[in-house]
Structure 1
Amino acid sequence: MPERPGPATRTRRVCAALRALRKNNRLTLHQVAIALGVSVTKVQRMETGRRGLRADDVTALLTLYQVPAEERAELLALVRPPASPGWWQAPGSRLPADLRQLIGLEDEAAVVRDFELAMVPTLLQTAEYARSALGGMDHRLHEPDLGRQVAATMTRQMVLSRPMPPSLHCVVEESALHRPIGGPGVLARQLQALCLLAERPNVTLRVLPLSRGAHPGLRGSMTILEFADAPPLVRVPVAGTHTFLQHTHEVDLAREAWQVLEHLSLPPAESAHLLGGYAGELACAS
């Protein structure tokens, strides 16, 4: 029996279906809003899922669009919350909302393509490296919240070890391998861990040499999340948090940038050799 898709994927599937149904019925947002007695803004939000979806709102739309009973039941089932929420949604997790959203999407993704400009990718970080990175990026973050986010980072990484894990493709700029987050010892152990992680069949790690000069990644880090049954998303950092791009042209631009970054990067074997050399140098120095 196939797994039921997670909350983020379910919402996006319903939103895509609602947009398609409206267009198939040749109705404008304004006409739908008048028919339902709501604002155009509310209809737009229902088609984007920006504030979540309510079963009664979706029911009203499906009734307006005269959706057959079987399809109607399938879409409404996707709107209702799952019986077993993910660990990141558990009461008391106290994780930031944007982090909970990202974890949910990572859990649902079939392929994750992550470019990092300034540090080691989160899904490949050691606990001590993650603690130093999180604390350094936000000096307001103290215990117990710091420890909670480090623990969440470690738990997120379990997605790479589960049955049928996602494929993780990482490109890291060489500068990140020289930034002594946590000090030389922490960085040395982090690079050693990268060498081991890169041997996993579902992990591909490439280093982008500084000698390549300018490249599309100088605009900032990005993560492309691809799903088996939903359109892809692109995560980009914004003012201490992140946002998700989902319009086709935005995703296409991100994929083009990714292809350039991969082309400029060292092959996985050469990248692993470079990582091992840096790790050895740091271990001797520390």
Structure 2
Amino acid sequence: MLFTSIGGTVAQPSFRRRRLAKKLQEQRESAGLTVAEAVRLSGFSQAKLSRIETGAYGVSGDDVHTLCEAYGADEETTESFTRLARQAKERNLWWRSYSDILGNANYIELEADSAALHAFTIDIIPGLLQTSGYYEAIIRADTPLVSKETVARRVEARLARQQQIKDQNVRVWAIIDEPALLRPVGGHAVMADQIDYLLKIADTPHVSFQVLPLTAGAHQSIGKPFTQFFLRDGFRVVGIDSHDGGLFMEDNQRVRHFEEAWTSLAAMALPFPHSIEVLRARSEEHRRNAHALRKPAKMAEK
């Protein structure tokens, strides 16, 4: 399924509710039951079952148990679905306190539920790998009149997202297009700090990245940055960020298309050791440029 999370006019249920809806429908179908048979066995009305299977209805733990019993689900499956039903109704999520500044909370929810994610970016460093200085420069370039308070809260929320990934040991594999390393976002000194941060986290077990070199030439993902979310329950989603909302894809055929695109990109990108060499070289270049720009300023002061 394809839908726009915040750019469209129709409100969409949360991903957790949608995942539960899909799993319950798949469980019914694997049991060989029609909707009419499920209605008879569960005692639910057809309208209620339809709302549950489309994600339009927030299903309770009791309803999950009833359906799982009707479908002959085992205890482990029933517990898994019940846990997801509880998560779908959670209200004390940390990112809700930033709801006034976060344009797309779906990304955060997917990150929170992921075991691993793949990110391909073409002109910036992936958000989960950005330093505060780098991200602040992006915010100010995107919205020049933004207040200091809003900038501070957005940076705080971004750092909280990064901490969430670390705390939950989410494996992050990023492929960074080389032009993103050349552009001095925030200035050469800020960019050098950003690349040095990438070099620092390269030693951590949950982060891996590759550089797609300029010499790679044409590829099927030119101009098409995307993120793949591999959720802990096996659910897979592809997200494409944009100014007017995030585009998310759950359809198996579309998801497979992006998996093939990722495989192609990973084969074209530099291996990890060579990517580290490129990062070091780019960091040194930015340091030299930052130093060269400081010299005329000091001479002018004299």
Q: TM-score, normalised by structure 2?
A: 0.76
RMSD: 3.3
1:75-154 pair list within 5 angstroms: 75-76=81-82, 78-81=84-87, 85-89=92-96, 92-95=97-100, 99-139=104-144, 141-154=146-159
Question: How far apart, CA to CA, are the structure 1 residues paired with 2:141 and 2:271?
Answer: 31
Task: Decide which moves more: 252-261 or 107-116.
Answer: 107-116
Q: Which has the higher contact order (CA 8 A, sep 6+)?
A: 2
Gap regions ≥5 residues in structure 2: 1-12, 291-302
Alignment coverage as a number of residue pairs? 269
SS at match of 2:248: strand
C-alpha displacement of 1:111: 1.0
2:53 matched residue in structure 1: 47
The Cα shift of 1:146 comes to 2.5
Mapped to 2, the partners of 1:69 and 1:252 lie a distance apart of 28
Look up the match of 2:238.
234
**SS of alignment partner, residue 98 of structure 2:** coil
Contact 1:127 1:150 in 2 (8 A): yes
Could you say if the C-alpha distance between residues 266 and 21 of structure 1 is closer, same or farther in structure 2, counting changes exceeding 3 Å? closer
Q: What is the aligned-residue identity percentage?
A: 26
Aligned to 1:186: 190
Q: Which amino acid aligns with 1:217?
A: S
Compared with structure 1, are the counterparts of its residues 178 and 97 closer, same or farther at alpha carbon in structure 2 (3 Å cutoff)?
Answer: closer
Larger mean CA deviation between 100-109 and 164-173 belongs to: 100-109
Deviation, 1:133, is: 1.2
Q: Secondary structure at the match of 1:207?
A: strand
The 5 Å alignment of 1:147-186 reads: 147-162=152-167, 165-186=169-190
- TM-score for the superposition, normalised by structure 1: 0.80
Counterpart residue number, 2:47? 38
Q: CA deviation at 1:22?
A: 4.1
Q: Is the counterpart of residue 256 in structure 1 residue 256 in structure 2?
A: no
Higher mean C-alpha deviation, range 207-216 or range 8-17 = 8-17
| Larger deviation, residues 205-214 vs 9-18 | 9-18
The answer to whether the 8 A contact 2:136-2:151 is kept is yes
CA contact (8 A) 2:238 2:250 kept: yes
Moved more, 69-78 or 116-125: 69-78
2:244 corresponds to which letter in structure 1?
G
The answer for unaligned runs of 5 or more in structure 1 is: 1-6
1:136-172 residue CA offsets vs partner (Å, 9 max, x unmatched):
234464443332111111111113432x611111100
Task: Tell me the CA shift for residue 69 of structure 1.
Answer: 9.6
Hey, what's the Cα distance between the residues in 2 that align with 1:208 and 1:19? 40
Kindly provide the amino acid, as one letter, of the partner of residue 149 in structure 2.
Answer: P
Report the residue type matching 1:272 in the other structure.
I
Q: Which of 18, 26, 35 lines up with 1:20 in the alignment?
A: 26
Matched letter for residue 269 of structure 1: P
Q: Structure 1 residues 83, 262: CA separation in 2 closer, same or farther (over 3 Å shift)?
A: closer
Cα distance, 1:195 vs structure 2: 1.2
User: 2:257 and 2:63 mapped to 1: Cα distance?
Assistant: 36
Distance change in 2, residues 1:76/1:282 (3 Å) = closer
Distance 1:247 1:241 in 2: 19
SS of residue matched to 1:149: helix
8 Å contact 1:115–1:170 — kept in the other structure? Answer: yes
Mapped contact 1:12–1:230 kept (Cα < 8 A)? no
Q: Deviations over 1:99-148 (max 9, x none)?
A: 32211221221111110111001111010101111232344644433321
Distance 1:141 1:200 in 2: 34
